A and B are shown apart, each in its own frame.
Chain A
């Protein structure tokens, strides 16, 4: 069978060409291709691990930021609290001052009122005294229209002065 008998010439050329191909392709094609493939794979792996590290660093940074934020919040709360205390104190102080001032003013007002009242009372007393003297004058004038009675009274008064 002709198909099954290998031809010597073709074997020779196949060996030659195939060896040449293995040599040339091995040197100029497979070597750079395999090297570049491996290098690229390593590059991708490196990049991925670098990205992972960057991600971890980011996470760390985020953590720090959170910490800072927390601290800032606490600080703010503290400041607010202090401010509130200060405010309360100020308000309380103000209240005390206002109270004492008020009390003073009331005192003053009371004194004024008393003074005024005393003055008024004194005037009323004067008025009453004046009025009483006028009334007494009128009453006495009426009683002492006749001379007898005037003489009796004078004598009586004289008696009294004597007694004094």
Chain B
């Protein structure tokens, strides 16, 4: 039996999709590896203990040994307070509002009340909460509740939204002011990207009806890009790993998924449920096609998450090396710091590119998924695989 061209293209597309996904798994694996590294750091008792002893002799009895995994996870994860630095045993943090929905009632208080997990907080509604060692809030009586707190990432989300609004509404005003004139200032900076999204992403991927999706595509592109970039700035209120948080990437991917489902037409579903291939192959290909529908947002979610998280982990890992070596001998720490700083700077520069690239890839794939769902002639649809 001869496999139709159509069918072959489907199989290739599936292979390509999985390749795309797995190609990112090394950076993904990094996350887990780092944990094992941190565990390895635990299993170095002689040197560590010796160091602890000398530290004690020097009068720093309370100094904890450095745990790279914990430090990195703390940096890339979400938190109820914004940790700036630790001086001795004093944590300098910015407390953030906690908003909990418990049994239909809102419990609102500042995270400073926990005193970094040392105290419990009892609210007006009579619920008592504590901050566990993972930085999660839990109810003392074990009751379940919903956590809508303004965490580090939510604060960054607000800040980035304000930046986006100010930036682009300002640019829009200069467009109105400079009608039919050459762009200037920020307008000139942003214009190439807007045109790029329109001409290189939306038009080829979606076709004639691209204009309808431009607000979504532009918002998603600049939202991801600006947030990726803000994540590189290590000064409060930036530097949070917002676009490297799976909740955020999943939400964004869901928007693309929902839009592509809402606008999808008959051709799209015919293509998936009744492709133009021998009926005997349906048993193999239809499940794969259906899986593909759900794989698309999944891949979008994981790609952005893994890339941005890895981008945050790697420089942190280089910096951690300094402290790991410094615990063995201060001189080794100084020596390693030169290399670590160099590599971190290199990684950060690379991240500048990755920030743009990931925003572009996310937008391009979103546009392509929408384009596939709205394709009018089913035989043209293969061009996009």
Contact = CB atoms under 8 A, between A and B. Distances in A.
B117 to A, nearest CB: 16
B161 interface: yes
A124 interface: no
Interface string B274-311: 00000000000000000000000000000000000100
A1 B306 CA distance: 14
Interface in B204-230: 211, 214-216, 218-219, 223
A138 B160 CA distance: 166
A30 to B, nearest CB: 5
Contacts of A31: 172, 215
B175 A25 contact: no
A32 B151 contact: no
A30 B157 contact: no
B223 A28 contact: no
Interface stretch (B38-46, B245-253, B265-273, B345-353): B245-253
* Chain A contact surface mostly: helix
Contacts of A10: 78, 151, 153-154, 157, 245, 247-248
A8 B145 CA distance: 11
Given A33-B194, A36-B176, A14 B219 contact: no
Interface string A1-39: 111111111111111011011101110111111101101
Contact of B215 (A1, A6, A12, A30): A30
Given A3-B309, A18-B219, A40-B180, A34 B250 contact: no
Contacts of B22: none
Contacts of B150: 13
Given A21-B165, A39-B180, A4 B219 contact: no
Interface residues of A, number: 35
B172 A11 contact: no
Contacts of B191: 37
Interface in B142-195: 146-151, 153-154, 157-158, 161, 164-165, 168-169, 171-173, 175-176, 179-181, 191, 194-195
B255 interface: yes
Contacts of A12: 148
A30 B214 contact: yes
A32 B156 CA distance: 27
Contacts of A40: 179-181
Interface of A: 1-15, 17-18, 20-22, 24-26, 28-34, 36-37, 39-40, 43
Interface of B: 31-32, 73, 76-78, 99, 134, 146-151, 153-154, 157-158, 161, 164-165, 168-169, 171-173, 175-176, 179-181, 191, 194-195, 198, 211, 214-216, 218-219, 223, 245-248, 250-252, 255, 309
22 contacts: A6-B245, A6-B251, A7-B151, A9-B148, A13-B150, A13-B157, A15-B251, A17-B158, A21-B164, A21-B219, A22-B215, A25-B169, A25-B218, A26-B215, A28-B165, A30-B168, A31-B172, A32-B172, A33-B175, A36-B172, A36-B175, A37-B175
